[in-house]
Amino acid sequence: RIVYVNGDYLPEAEAKVSVFDRGFLMADGVYEVTSVLDGKLVDFEGHAKRLERSLGELDIVSPVTTDELLSIHRELVKRNDLTEGGVYLQITRGAPADRDFAFPDPETTPSTIVLFTQVKNLADAPAARTGISVISIEDRRWARRDIKTVQLLYPSMGKMMAKAAGADDAWMVEDGLVTEGTSNNAYIVKGGKIITRQLSNDILHGITRAAVLRLAKEAQMEVEERGFSVEEAREADEAFVTSATTFVQSVVKIDEATIGEGTPGRIALRLREIYIDESRKKAI
């Protein structure tokens, strides 16, 4: 693989960052994952905007402009012959001369930027056909989940808890209501209505979420943005998750309960189809 690091395109084995990098020492950094379909970027603009917001909330200076970012994404897709998968991007507060809790001066410590591609079967992912199972776990992340930081230890632990329980993923619960999945936004469908938690600092403002809710409304589907409990999910007709790399993926089991018929539901499948169609058309 050819990866990008601080201005250079290099074979992955030659790409290096400092041991003092604050991303490595303190999880002081943010990231984005933009999916690639037919060799083109899906909703690059949405990801670039959220990146800017994440950086702003943490006072990290971007080392590149949005135009440069687009060129780097495209160049990596080209150099790696990527037709389907994703581009991972990470920006950290850089590598000061020594480890210190206080932020370094951005004038003397430039941010670190790294991008690499990942090959993945997205549109035809087997899990989309069968649906996935989730377990519910307590949400023990910090209180600014709207910022897409590289602080992913708890979601990783959640994935491992799911694996240990024989499930595919975990839905996190706070004060009796589902926040989101370990790396996706969570939805249920009841009586034709799509229900998903409202935006706040409690969840990541998914780029796929925004597109899917817009498409649902355009298709005259009813949408309600509010929290829902695990009990409500157990009794729902359908459930699903959204993210840049899974698009819309049905959830057919939560803890021990089968949701609906235990197979992907009609509304989730329809949304997946509409989302993929539109993404292929609008990708750049």
Nearest approach in angstroms of CB 47 to ligand PLP is: 7
Q: Is the CB of residue 252 less than 8 Å from the CB of residue 132?
A: yes
Contact residues for ligand PLP (CB under 6 A)?
A: 180, 183-185, 204, 206-209, 242-244
DSSP code for 175: T
Closest CA to 170 of 211, 141, 198: 141
Token pair in block for residue 200: 């706040």
Nearest approach in angstroms of CB 187 to ligand PLP is: 11
| Of 117 and 243, CB closest to ligand PLP | 243
| Of 82 and 203, CB closest to ligand PLP | 203
Closest CA to 162 of 276, 241, 263: 241
Nearest approach in angstroms of CB 205 to ligand PLP is: 8
| Of 109 and 149, CB closest to ligand PLP | 149
Nearest approach in angstroms of CB 245 to ligand PLP is: 7
Helix (H, G, I), strand (E, B) or coil at 138: strand
Q: Which of 40, 78, 148, 190 is catalytic?
A: 148
Closest CA to 202 of 278, 142, 284, 120: 142
Q: What share of the chain is helix, strand, coil (3-state, %, to 5)?
A: 30, 30, 40
| Of 236 and 248, CB closest to ligand PLP | 248
Token pair in block for residue 73: 């994404």
Catalytic residue list contains 148: yes
The catalytic residues are: 148
